[in-house]
Structure 1
């Protein structure tokens, strides 16, 4: 599974960073999140999906 954060939709809320810090981090000098690992290891996929579901702006895109 692959994941990315749509920078235009990211609202700097940080739910993804709190829910799944193994995958998401804030950009340096910004409050927008980025995926630090594009290809999500199986052990973090459930947490990553949960973070995507909780994102109020729908900024996290997951592809299988």
Structure 2
């Protein structure tokens, strides 16, 4: 599984970081979310999908 972050939509609210901290982190300026892994490991897929669904800015999507 792969996820794409749209940096133009992301406001750095970090909902995804709270839901899947092994997959997402805030950038150095705490403004945009970044991925910690390119391919989401199977054990983190459920949380990553939940993060995509709960993103308040719809800045995440499955690839």
The TM-score normalised by the length of structure 2 is 0.92
**Superimposed CA distance per residue, residues 6-49 of structure 1 (whole angstroms, 9 cap, x where no aligned partner):** 10010111100110000000001232111111100100000000
Q: Secondary structure at the match of 1:49?
A: helix
Q: Secondary structure at the match of 1:61?
A: strand
The TM-score normalised by the length of structure 1 is 0.90
Instruction: Report the count of equivalent residues.
Output: 63
Moved over 2 A (4+): none
Unmatched 5+ residue regions in structure 2? none
Matched ranges for 1:1-64 at <5 A: 1-63=1-63
